[in-house]
Amino acid sequence: MGSGGLAERLRFRHARTEGISFGLVPEKAQWAAIERALPSAGVVVLATCNAHLAEEQARLVRRVAEAGKPLVCVALRNPYDVEMYPRDSARLAAYSADPHTLDAVAKALFGDLAPRGRSPCGCRRNKGGSNLYS
């Protein structure tokens, strides 16, 4: 797989994947692109990086959740973002955005890899009470 981001890896497995990248603070054009894409999205995969420290990323997570689409949230830096993800979303702590980790995240999202482990930071449990994967 190339050195691109998560969207490239998901597109490799699902050709109709649309990727919208944003920084720590999403810009107006990125917000607009996300708003345009939400109505036609079947599933939203939202990867964050330190969103627990960046209110604009946290606001983006809340806005995407409000759209009512199935939501998969991936914490790319550290697991603390998992705390702010909606409880009814699928949540994965990846701990990195390096190419090998992004490959593993894509494999996990398509069922080719079963994530396992426990968070070392005591993040809350999901709705069913099972451990969050990390």
**For helices 28-37 and 55-66, angle between their N-to-C axes, nearest 10 degrees:** 20
DSSP E strands, 3-100: 44-48, 71-75, 90-93
Which is higher by pLDDT, 94 or 78?
94
pLDDT tens column, 105-131: 999 999 999 988 877 776 654 444 444
The model's pTM is 0.85
Cα(116)–Cα(5) distance, integer angstroms: 23
pLDDT tens column, 7-49: 999 999 999 999 998 888 889 999 999 999 999 999 999 999 9
Cα(95)–Cα(76) distance, integer angstroms: 5
Q: Where are the domains of the chain?
A: 6-109
Integer-rounded Cα Rg, in Å, for the chain is: 14
